[in-house]
Amino acid sequence: MAAIQGAGPFSPSPLAKSRFARIVLETNATRIGLHGVDFRSSFLKPIKAMANDCGAAVSGKNLSQMAKTVGKATNIVWHKCSVDKCDRQQLLEQKGCVIWMTGLSGSGKSTLACALSRGLHARGKLTYILDGDNVRHGLNSDLGFKAEDRAENIRRIGEVAKLFADAGIICIASLISPYRKDRDACRALLPERDFIEVFLDVPLEVCEARDPKGLYKLARSGKIKDSITTEGRELFPPKCYG
Ligand SMILES: Nc1ncnc2c1ncn2[C@@H]1O[C@H](COP(=O)(O)OS(=O)(=O)O)[C@@H](OP(=O)(O)O)[C@H]1O
Ligand SMILES: Nc1ncnc2c1ncn2[C@@H]1O[C@H](COP(=O)(O)OP(=O)(O)O)[C@@H](O)[C@H]1O
């Protein structure tokens, strides 16, 4: 996990945003297959690590053809296609993965996700952001903020993120995702180095002072329920290290 320390109560300049994105990228470069990269120029070079991954993908083709019970469904058979993740990665010249931003509301997840997406896009990398706010407008519009609803929200986004990674896309998930067990369940869906967790280590006081949506105010006055504002400190590790 990589942690981004909270900045002071100022608006981030585009330069600061791109520096943030660079920190994340440099911290995790090896894990997304960008070895020895000069971040100022050579992002677009073909990714060496992909060759190894393709080997792994080939051995992964031996998925059982036996009918299985999956969840509530019976007689489910995995359908393989001759075009696989490896082929898509080679086409895109990048490695599909999930970069998971976690942190309190107002910690800067969406801002950093956008800066990272913009930075990668400028370097010719295909990204897609799954933002908690946005996904709750559609796929997850049936969910609220009780712990079990948050868990289902995170589970679904984890599954969608896995599909994006399988498509060869760098998927940036941006969710509060306060409970470690929910994040760990998403991590378990992917090969270890394909899931990069970034904790925005911003103190509750700073997030509450920002409060761009007025959520902390509403939570403190009891007007919204199931807020994690007050117990936020306990839900996240005190420090996270890359
Ligand atoms: N309790 C409560 N009531 C009303 N609204 C709330 C509540 N908690 C969170 N939010 C807002 O919902 C945004 C998305 O939350 P997430 O899907 O990221 O949350 S979670 O991962 O499921 O915990 C989240 O987005 P961010 O502010 O960008 O974090 C908040 O705007
Ligand atoms: N590094 C930063 N320093 C100061 N303010 C920031 C920083 N990153 C984001 N912000 C501001 O904090 C507020 C919340 O950011 P946002 O990205 O929406 O957080 P989240 O998605 O975690 O709720 C916004 O007003 C944003 O401009």
Q: How far is the CA of 105 from the centre of ligand 2 (A)?
A: 9
**pLDDT confidence of residue 205:** 87
Least confident of 25-34, 80-89, 186-195: 25-34
Q: What would the two tokens of residue 88 be?
A: 């898509």
Query: Is 77 within a domain?
Result: no
* CA 55 to chain CA mean position, Å: 25
Query: Is 55 within a domain?
Result: no
CA–CA distances in Å: residue 34 to residues 21, 27, 174, 225? 15, 11, 22, 43
Please tell me the distance from the alpha carbon of residue 5 to that of residue 27, in angstroms, as a whole number: 14
Query: Is 23 within a domain?
Result: yes
Query: Is 71 within a domain?
Result: no
Please report which confidence band the pLDDT of residue 169 belongs to, taking 50, 70 and 90 as the band edges. Answer: very high
ipTM exceeds 0.95: yes
**pLDDT confidence of residue 7:** 39
Question: Does the beta carbon of 102 sit less than 6 angstroms from any atom of ligand 2?
Answer: no
- Decide if pLDDT at 151 tops 50: yes
- Decide if pLDDT at 153 tops 60: yes
Mean pLDDT of 201-222: 89
CATH number at residue 157: 3.40.50.300
Question: Does the beta carbon of 150 sit less than 6 angstroms from any atom of ligand 1?
Answer: yes
SS3 2: strand
**pLDDT confidence of residue 142:** 98
**pLDDT confidence of residue 127:** 98
Question: Does the beta carbon of 217 sit less than 6 angstroms from any atom of ligand 1?
Answer: no
Number of domains forming the structure of the chain: 1
Q: How far is the CA of 221 from the centre of ligand 2 (A)?
A: 22
Question: Does residue 236 contact residue 104 with C-beta atoms inside 8 Å?
Answer: yes
Question: Does the beta carbon of 103 sit less than 6 angstroms from any atom of ligand 2?
Answer: yes
Q: How far is the CA of 226 from the centre of ligand 1 (A)?
A: 10
**pLDDT confidence of residue 143:** 97
Query: Is 230 within a domain?
Result: yes
Question: Does residue 232 contact residue 179 with C-beta atoms inside 8 Å?
Answer: no
Query: Is 36 within a domain?
Result: no
Question: Does residue 85 contact residue 55 with C-beta atoms inside 8 Å?
Answer: no
Query: Is 208 within a domain?
Result: yes
Mean pLDDT of the chain: 79
Residue 140 dihedral angles phi and psi, to the nearest 5°: -110, 25
Please report which confidence band the pLDDT of residue 26 belongs to, taking 50, 70 and 90 as the band edges. Answer: low
Query: What is the atom index within ligand 2 of the atom nearest the CA of 133?
Result: 21
Please tell me the distance from the alpha carbon of residue 200 to that of residue 5, in angstroms, as a whole number: 6
SS3 90: helix
Q: Is 177 a catalytic residue?
A: yes
Query: Which ligand has an atom closest to residue 111 CA?
Result: 2
Q: Domain limits at 167?
A: 2-27+85-235
Mean pLDDT of 178-205: 92
Query: Is 16 within a domain?
Result: yes
Q: Which of 41, 107, 177, 221 is catalytic?
A: 177
Question: Does residue 42 contact residue 125 with C-beta atoms inside 8 Å?
Answer: no
Please report which confidence band the pLDDT of residue 84 belongs to, taking 50, 70 and 90 as the band edges. Answer: very high
Question: Does the beta carbon of 15 sit less than 6 angstroms from any atom of ligand 2?
Answer: no
Question: Does the beta carbon of 110 sit less than 6 angstroms from any atom of ligand 1?
Answer: yes
Q: Phi-psi region for residue 108, left (φ > 0), alpha (ψ -120 to 50) or beta?
A: left
SS3 5: strand
Residue 136's CB: how many other CB atoms inside 10 A?
Answer: 18
Please tell me the distance from the alpha carbon of residue 217 to that of residue 60, in angstroms, as a whole number: 50
Mean pLDDT of 4-12: 44
Query: Which ligand has an atom closest to residue 18 CA?
Result: 2
- Decide if pLDDT at 221 tops 70: yes
Least confident of 3-7, 56-60, 200-204, 216-220: 56-60
